[in-house]
């Protein structure tokens, strides 16, 4: 959070943060940054839609300007130093209201010195005209995208994504998301198992691994901002939220999800949470492994047929 706030304070006029019952010490950090406006997201459940609407409504209330540029960044997404002041940055500042802003979002991989890059750009900003935002509860686009909006693709604005510098945290996140999709009845369980288990390696293979350009860091490091230290942990807030879901819905609800490589009883013990959890029986695990292979084979066949 310190890195995000230190960097973002260099270019943002206002930083709006929705804190949802955090216990990681973030509440002690926010007052150190004068541009931060803190709002309390007191929801007890994970809901991207309500959080995004809360942030957007607050931004529009605090900055009632017809030239309001909203950048929707997570705390592990840091704009590169050479983004600010680039040609694309100037184009963004001059864009008319009702423009969707697309940035590159490379994943820094294992270490901040490696970057997984893809060709597609992400909609992370909006030159706001007050358009309605209709987010989803999970995997939601963060900014309004009305049908009349213009698209502006800015290859030289880079939002460095730090999530894969802690692969263990990313795995915990994916398992939590799998459980959420189960509860929300999103998609077939085999598609969910593939998406959150077997598809992670294919994501890496379909990206281009490069050395991180030093100019992404240099301007911020010249200001004394640490861009490369990665904190380590054995458990994450995703694990705590997952354990709450086990408690609410029972462990059998999630037997078909690809989440059982983690030692959930041990995690519950470490986090002082009393939750009854038993992994799927062996016969079910064996049946799911067969179904997984059939599903992957079907996906492969479809991909080959499309190429013909």
Ramachandran area for residue 17 (φ above 0: left; ψ -120 to 50: alpha; else beta): beta
Residue 175 and residue 157 share a domain? no
Mean pLDDT of 80-96: 96
Residue 173 and residue 156 share a domain? no
What whole-number distance in Å separates Cα of residue 22 and Cα of residue 76? Answer: 15
Of the two residues 43 and 220, the one the predictor is more confident about is 220
Q: Report the 3 state secondary structure along the chain.
A: CHHHHHHHCCCCCCEEEEECCCCCCHHHHHHHCCCEEEEECCCCCCCHHHHHHHHHHHHHHHCCCCCEEEECCCCCEEECCCCCCCHHHHHHHHCCCCEEEEEECCEECCCCCEEEECCCCEEEEEEECCCCCCCCCCCCCCCCCCCCCEEEEEEEEEEEECHHHCHHHHHHHHHHHHHHHHHHCCCCHHHHHHHHHHHHHHHHHCCEEEECCCHHHHHHHHCCCCCCCCCCCCCCHHHHHHHHHHHHHCHHHHCCCCCCCCCHHHHHHHCCCCCCCCCCCHHHHHHHHHHHHHHHHHHHHHHHHHHC
Q: Per the structure, how many domains does the chain have?
A: 2
Q: CB neighbours of 284 closer than 8 A, spacing ≥ 6? A: 255
Residue 237 and residue 107 share a domain? no
Each residue's pLDDT tens digit, 52-71:
898 999 999 999 877 799 99
Residue 177 and residue 29 share a domain? no
Single residue among 164, 183, 203 that ends a domain in this structure: 164
Q: Is residue 55 part of a domain?
A: yes
Mean pLDDT of 168-182: 92
Residue 119 and residue 17 share a domain? yes
pLDDT score at 104 = 97
Residue 44 and residue 158 share a domain? yes
Binned at pLDDT 50, 70 and 90, residue 103 comes out as very high
Residue 40 and residue 90 share a domain? yes
pLDDT score at 25 = 64
Q: Is residue 216 part of a domain?
A: no
Residue 149 and residue 15 share a domain? yes
Residue 183 and residue 47 share a domain? no
pLDDT at 145 over 90: yes
Residue 70 and residue 186 share a domain? no
For residue 209, report the phi and psi dihedrals to the nearest 5 degrees.
Answer: -85, 125
Contact between 142 and 52 (Cβ < 8 Å): yes
Mean pLDDT, the chain, as a whole number? 90
State the CB neighbour count (10 A cutoff) for residue 60. 14
Residue 278 and residue 245 share a domain? yes
Q: Give the range of the structural domain holding residue 51, as residue numbers without chain letter.
A: 2-164
What whole-number distance in Å separates Cα of residue 217 and Cα of residue 160? Answer: 10
Contact between 239 and 269 (Cβ < 8 Å): no
Contact between 39 and 54 (Cβ < 8 Å): yes
Each residue's pLDDT tens digit, 251-260:
999 999 999 9
């Amino acid at each position: 959070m310190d890195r995000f706030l230190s960097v973002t304070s260099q270019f943002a006029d206002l930083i709006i943060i929705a804190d949802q019952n955090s216990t990681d010490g973030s509440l002690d950090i926010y007052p150190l940054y004068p541009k931060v406006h803190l709002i309390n997201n007191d929801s007890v459940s994970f809901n991207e839609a309500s959080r995004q609407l809360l942030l957007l409504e607050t931004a529009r209330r605090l900055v009632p300007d017809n030239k309001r540029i909203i950048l929707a960044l997570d705390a592990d997404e840091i704009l590169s130093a050479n983004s600010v002041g680039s040609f694309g940055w100037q184009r963004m500042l001059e864009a008319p209201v009702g423009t969707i802003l697309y940035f590159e979002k490379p994943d820094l991989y294992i270490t901040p010195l490696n970057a997984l890059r893809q060709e597609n750009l992400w909609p992370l900003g909006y030159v706001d005209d007050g358009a309605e935002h209709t987010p989803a509860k999970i995997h939601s686009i963060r900014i309004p995208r009305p049908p009349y909006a213009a698209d502006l693709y800015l290859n030289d604005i880079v939002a460095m994504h730090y999530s894969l510098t802690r692969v263990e945290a990313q795995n915990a996140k994916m398992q939590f998301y799998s459980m959420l999709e189960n509860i929300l009845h999103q998609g077939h369980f085999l598609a969910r198992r593939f998406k959150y288990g077997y598809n992670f390696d294919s994501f890496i293979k379909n990206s281009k691994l490069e050395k991180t350009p030093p100019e992404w860091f240099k301007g911020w490091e010249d200001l004394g901002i640490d861009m490369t230290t990665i904190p380590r942990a054995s458990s994450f807030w995703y694990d705590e939220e997952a354990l709450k879901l086990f408690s609410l819905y029972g462990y059998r609800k999630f037997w078909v999800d690809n989440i059982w490589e983690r030692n959930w009883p041990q995690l519950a013990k470490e986090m002082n949470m009393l939750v009854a959890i038993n992994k799927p029986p062996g016969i079910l695990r064996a049946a799911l492994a067969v179904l997984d292979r059939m599903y992957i084979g079907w996906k492969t066949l479809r991909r080959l047929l499309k190429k013909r």
